[in-house]
Amino acid sequence: MDTPLKGEFRPRDTIPTAPISDTNPSAAIVQLQVQRTMSGEQRLLIALEMSLFRRELAKQGIREEHPDWPDTEVARELIRRAFAPGQMPACLR
């Protein structure tokens, strides 16, 4: 991040920030200790599992909204929601 010039005003510099977490501080310490003992591969696998779990939750939500849709349409909607409208591949629009 660039250092502001003397007297330069940056609105983002005036907005206080605080970490958002619902994790108990003592549990967060244990969590961090466990994560530090894990290999990069183990951390990556956990991230991938979390991503797959989130995707399944999203698909279930789409199925609840549109119970008559086939799996292909649910998959298309999942991809549509993952992309901003201008970034979506043309074949999925």
Q: Concatenated DSSP letters for the chain?
A: -PPPPTT---GGGGS-------S-HHHHHHHHHHHHHS-HHHHHHHHHHHHHHHHHHHHHHHHHH-TT--HHHHHHHHHHHHS-GGGS-GGG-
Examine residue 19 and state whether it is found in any structural domain, yes or no.
no
4 falls within a domain = no
16 located within any domain? no
> Tens of pLDDT along the chain (93 residues)?
455 555 555 655 666 666 677 888 899 999 999 999 999 999 999 999 999 999 999 999 999 999 999 999 999 999 888 876 666 667 766
- Whether 49 maps to a domain, the answer reads yes
**pTM assigned to the model:** 0.59
Q: Is residue 60 part of a domain?
A: yes
Q: Could you list the residue range(s) of the whole structural domain that residue 50 is in?
A: 25-92
Number of compact structural domains in the chain: 1
Domain membership of residue 42 (yes or no) is: yes
Within a domain: 80: yes
